[in-house]
Amino acid sequence: MKKFLTMVVTVLVILTFLTGLYSAKNIGAANAQTLQINEEEVVDSTIEDISEKLIRFHVIANSDEEKDQALKLKVRDEVLKYIQPMLKDSKDIDNSREILKRENENILNIARTVIEANGYSYKVDSTLSREYFPVKTYGNITLPQGEYEAYRILIGSGEGKNWWCVMFPPICFVDVTKGAVAYEETEKEMKEVLSEDEYKMVDNKVSEQKKNATVSKESNKSTAKKSSNSTAKKNTTEKEKNNLNKTLSLEKEKIVDNTEDNNIVIKFKIGEILKDIIN
């Protein structure tokens, strides 16, 4: 009787252990999935916060022909020359928005004058609205894809490539060809309106560091994997020799694949215990 009770208790302990192991595995997987979802929500929220603090500026050419692209840049230069003194000292996004609305007709007249002076009769329109944009880079700033408020000048059919920058904060007026000086000016302007975390998300320097760290990590993993494979290959040769006789003796037996059943050994032991009880 005592032996029987001992066997029963052992079986119950083993079953309890298996149930706990299965539950822990599922909870771990659920927690990992929840963490990933939360991280994605944080990133989406940050991108939305960034887009609410900027006004982009786009000049869209009539076509991708060289002459239309050149005309686009001439329109850009004259428009920026006119609007720069007004936007340069803008204190907030609302002030910049009001300036663009107030000066819209003057901006269009400047664009028309440039177009006509270069021998073209293209119409020109403008919009100030929220539009979807893919990932775009300007100097040391890369804005994630998403919806942004943008002031757009469309020349002719507006089917060509566009030139863009950020009007608020006013980094359109930073010469991105100046290297380190331009980087410092852009950083200063962007940090006036973005938090530290938001700025890190759009800063090319930070993105490049993360990219290099990822590449280095993957390289180390690859090296470790090759080394592991080499060691495993050597060990396999010895194992093959040691298991040769065992393999030959099993040739006539049916082999069941239990690689997916992590509990096969424990199940086998339970079977032995029950067999002892019955006997």
153 forms beta bridges with: 59, 126
Tens of pLDDT, residues 215-265: 445 555 555 555 566 555 555 556 665 554 554 444 444 333 333 444 444
Reduced to 3 DSSP states, what percent helix, strand and coil does the chain have, rounded to the nearest 5?
65, 15, 20
Q: Which two tokens stand for residue 90?
A: 């803008």
What is the amino acid identity at position 126?
S
Cα distance between residue 7 and residue 276, in whole Å: 9
Chain centroid, CA 55 distance in Å: 22
Tens of pLDDT, residues 123-143: 999 999 999 998 988 888 898
Q: Interhelix angle for 2-51 vs 264-278, to 10°?
A: 160
125 forms beta bridges with: 154
Reported as a pLDDT band with limits 50, 70 and 90, residue 272 is: low
Q: Which two tokens stand for residue 108?
A: 């269009």
Distances (CA, A) of 79 to 55, 110, 218: 16, 7, 47
For the cut 80, the answer to whether the pLDDT of residue 180 exceeds it is no
Reported as a pLDDT band with limits 50, 70 and 90, residue 21 is: low
Determine the average pLDDT of the residues in 77-92: 91
Q: Which two tokens stand for residue 13?
A: 């302990």
pLDDT at position 198 is 87
Ranges 9-13, 69-73, 151-155, 206-210: which has the least confidence: 206-210
Residue 203 DSSP code: B
Q: How many DSSP H helices and E strands does the chain contain?
A: 8, 6
Helix (H) or strand (E) holding 233: helix 204-242
Q: Which two tokens stand for residue 26?
A: 């599922």
Could you state, in order of their start, the residue ranges of all structural domains in the chain?
A: 1-51, 54-207
Percentage of the residues of the chain whose pLDDT score is greater than 70: 54
pLDDT at position 60 is 97
Neighbours of 13 (CB within 10 A): 10
For the cut 80, the answer to whether the pLDDT of residue 11 exceeds it is no
Tens of pLDDT, residues 103-119: 999 999 999 999 999 99
Torsional sign, CA 5, 10, 15, 19? positive
Cα distance between residue 20 and residue 30, in whole Å: 15
Mean pLDDT of the chain: 74
Residue 160 DSSP code: S
